[in-house]
Amino acid sequence: MQKIPLSLAKPGMKLAKPITKSNGMPIIAAGVELSDSLISRLDGMGIDKIHVVGDAVAASQNPSERVTRLDQLFRRLEGEPFQGKVKGYLREYFTIKAAADAASGSASASAECKG
């Protein structure tokens, strides 16, 4: 089980804990599989974090995917100079990481073909 920001939630993930209102009344039960529409509804309700089954962050280790998600993660911080710099540094890091992973993947694939 892992608590993640809603911005990292993806369709197919399952809730490990129920989502409840501030008074404790359950909105969505544990074990429910997330969909795009459900994630959008949770965002509209102001839900910031959810508990999901497994290690969701480790499962989404694709650096090129992270580059594209930065705009979504920083969407509420537009116009803040410091946050803009942080976003730029993260974009640069994940771009370099994606390129390095792609290069090592193609190198290992060509090594397998030769072997």
What would the pLDDT profile of 35-45 be if each residue is shown by its tens digit?
A: 999 999 999 99
In the structure, what pLDDT confidence band is assigned to residue 1 with cuts at 50, 70 and 90? confident
| 90 and 43 in a common domain | no
| 48 and 78 in a common domain | no
- Asked if residue 83 lies in contact with residue 77, where contact means CB atoms within 8 angstroms, the answer is yes
Number of domains in the chain: 2
| 79 and 34 in a common domain | no
Q: pLDDT for 73-92, tens place per residue?
A: 888 888 889 998 998 898 88
| 75 and 55 in a common domain | no
| 52 and 6 in a common domain | yes
Flag whether the pTM goes above 0.85. Answer: no
Q: Range of 103's domain?
A: 63-114
Which residues, in sequence order, are bridge partners of residue 51?
A: 3
Half-sphere exposure of 77 (CA within 13 A, CB side): 14
Instruction: Decide which of 21, 39, 59 is a domain's last residue.
Output: 59
Q: pLDDT for 4-36, tens place per residue?
A: 888 888 888 899 999 998 888 999 999 999 999
In the structure, what pLDDT confidence band is assigned to residue 113 with cuts at 50, 70 and 90? low
